[in-house]
Chains A and B, each alone.
Chain A
Amino acid sequence: GENVEQHPSTLSVQEGDSAVIKCTYSDSASNYFPWYKQELGKGPQLIIDIRSNVGEKKDQRIAVTLNKTAKHFSLHITETQPEDSAVYFCAASIFNDMRFGAGTRLTVKP
């Protein structure tokens, strides 16, 4: 089955800096890659996603890149703000079989 690895497990940045979280997946058949943000006591919230026929997608301060050959994808957050502090999960999916990474706890220091 699919295996998703996520790095780093924790990330601390200064407000205004950029943050990058990286994930790798094992099953080349995976075709959908969402990113979720989870705040304390809440459910994961979709922040951006990318499909296998697209290499990059951007939405304001967040962007995701996908390298199908290397089977890795990354989340980039620019101009970080304290409210970006949360746990971020990547996932790789084949139809509805979605496997999640272990999560990255991002702390943005004011």
Chain B
Amino acid sequence: DAGVIQSPRHEVTEMGQEVTLRCKPISGHDYLFWYRQTMMRGLELLIYFNNNVPIDDSGMPEDRFSAKMPNASFSTLKIQPSEPRDSAVYFCASSYRVETQYFGPGTRLLVL
């Protein structure tokens, strides 16, 4: 298996622009997670899905962030409008049933 795939790997945008991050989980996995990693706050869980349904979005920082999973092989994390404080590395992870999560390579986002 190719593992979790994320795109783009790097994104540079200007404040106020919309940003869309994409994730393809490992085939057969029924859980999908979005994390954000910063030096100040470490790894934070933003939201996770089970069988394409959002289960817990309590980690989503504010209404500017939204996530969708239209099918079992694709998810998006959208930031609109983006702000400089959103600059971070965003990871997608997937798992089969519970517990063991496999991470993608991440998207490094820089908002100017």
A82 within 8 A of B: no
Residues of B within 8 A of A36 (CB): 103
Interface residues on chain B, size class: 20 to 34
B105 within 8 A of A: yes
Residues of B within 8 A of A63 (CB): none
B42 within 8 A of A: yes
Interface residues of chain A: helix, strand, loop or mixed (majority): strand
A93 within 8 A of B: yes
Of residues 62 through 90 on chain A, the ones whose CB sits less than 8 Å from some CB of chain B are 89
Interface residues on chain A, size class: 20 to 34
Residues of B within 8 A of A103 (CB): 42
Interface residues in chain B, defined as those with a beta carbon under 8 Å from any beta carbon in chain A: 4, 31, 33, 42-43, 45, 48, 50, 55-56, 91, 93, 95, 98-106
